Amino acid sequence: MGEKEQGNLVIIGGAEDKEADCVILRRFVELAGGKDAVIGVVTTATEYPGEAGNQYRMIFIELGAKRVEILFIAKREDAAEPRVVDQISLCSGIFFTGGDQLRITSILGGSKVDEAIRGAYAKGVVIAGTSAGASVMSNTMIVEGDDVDTAKKCTLNMAHGMGLLEEVVIDQHFAQRGRINRLLTAVAQNPYVIGVGIDEDTAIVVSPSATFEVIGSQTVTVIDGRYIKYTNVSESKPNEPLALSNVILHILPTGYSFDLRLRRPFLRTKEERCDTKNIDK
């Protein structure tokens, strides 16, 4: 498994707490530098960029960030603006709002802004995204799929994401929208990738060591298809149910972590934040 990341990623399942303890958003600000944090909010995914941008700007300022810039990038022309590239170069944290993940990749993909974000990430800038902003983090992303139907090939559409997190596919609003079947379908079609389903008000904090920590109020579901013994995904018709055997499934709440290289969960306690003792031995 190759290098996964250069900095930290905060990948949020959507509907994160914005009014009480703000555990997830507070962690993002801390990783971005705390009182010295300069945060850029990318509103490309949403149809309401002004409303979303201002909401997150107020939250991040209240959480102690030094400065928050709203990066309005609504079309391809905006993604080539030197002004926006300059803004990104000053950021210690970049945050993608929710909305439509295909807007992010189709508007930013291959642009000067895309290049600037990747360059910032390589230098250690923390990148975060919620909902659609979470889906784009991986190199393979789910664009759309049926939330309630049986796992079938026809229920899922995938595309190339930003590729900040390799060999992983992310799904969000996971338990709340019953998306396990579509994540199983994604893993069946790409068994080498790890499926990560993130519940609302829950996030994974991915470190340069290729491990992630679960934070928030709900859980993260990890699907590992490496040891699948049988699947009919290549022979079945689009509307036929998928068959899968020997899929490995992990459910991880706050306090647990996952090693993406070893594909193993481990318990991370308050007293032993760096403990890497596997819980499945």
Contact 233, 189 (CB under 8 A): yes
Check residue 80 and report its DSSP letter. G
Q: Are 162 and 137 in contact (CB under 8 A)?
A: yes
Residue 77 annotated as catalytic: no
Backbone angles phi, psi at 43, to 5 degrees: -105, 15
User: Which is the catalytic residue, given 111, 131, 135, 138?
Assistant: 131
Out of 111, 135, 173, 213, which one is annotated catalytic?
173
Tokens encoding 211: 């491990």
Tell me the C-alpha distance between 164 and 114, whole Å: 11
Contact indicator for 276, 265 with CB cutoff of 8 Å: no
Q: What's the per-residue H, E or C state across 26-82?
A: HHHHHHCCHHHCEEEEECCCCCCHHHHHHHHHHHHHHCCCCEEEEECCCCCCHHHCH
Element (H, E) at 220: strand 219-224
Identified catalytic residue from 16, 69, 200, 213: 200
Beta bridge partners of 248: 224
One-letter amino acid at 225 equals: G
Give the whole-angstrom CA distance, residue 41 versus residue 86: 14
Which residue in 109, 104, 126 sits closest to 6, CA to CA?
126
Please report where in the chains the tokens 């959507």 appear, as a residue: 14
Q: Which residue type occupies 36?
A: D
Catalytic residue at 200?
yes
Tokens read off for 97: 């709002």
Asked about 167 being catalytic, the answer comes back as: no
Name the residue among 173, 171, 183, 26 with its Cα closest to residue 95: 26
Cα 270 to Cα 268: distance, rounded to the nearest angstrom: 7
Residues with a known catalytic role: 131, 173, 200
